[in-house]
Amino acid sequence: REHSIKQEVIKAYSRYNSISEELNGYNSDLLFRVNSSLVNLKKAISIGQIQLREALVTQQSLVSLKLSYLETKRDLLVSGIELIR
């Protein structure tokens, strides 16, 4: 039983560190830059500076990046809770 608990703690600690390193790989101002790019993209569409198809592809890429970042943050919080338990 004690061996099993130690293994669980080691596994949780390893997962936390791994996700923390992944999160550190993101630029600290990522959300600000992505949101700013989305606003600029909207402006470019409204004045006809970019074609709709190109804008949609760009938007999809930006939203995917934002989602990936937020999912990594969520995973770090969850793994931190698992480590505490």
Give the per-residue pLDDT at 31.
92
pLDDT of residue 40: 97
Q: What is the pLDDT of residue 84?
A: 86
HSE (CB half, 13 Å, CA atoms) of 55? 15
Q: Which two tokens stand for residue 56?
A: 């949609």
Tens of pLDDT, residue by residue over 5-37, are: 889 889 999 999 999 999 999 988 999 999 999
pLDDT at 28: 86
DSSP state of 21: H
Cα 21 to Cα 49: distance, rounded to the nearest angstrom: 38
* C-alpha closest to that of 77 among 3, 1, 2, 15: 15
d(CA 5, CA 13): 12
Predicted TM-score of the model (pTM): 0.81
pLDDT in tens, 32-70: 999 999 999 999 999 999 999 999 999 999 999 999 999
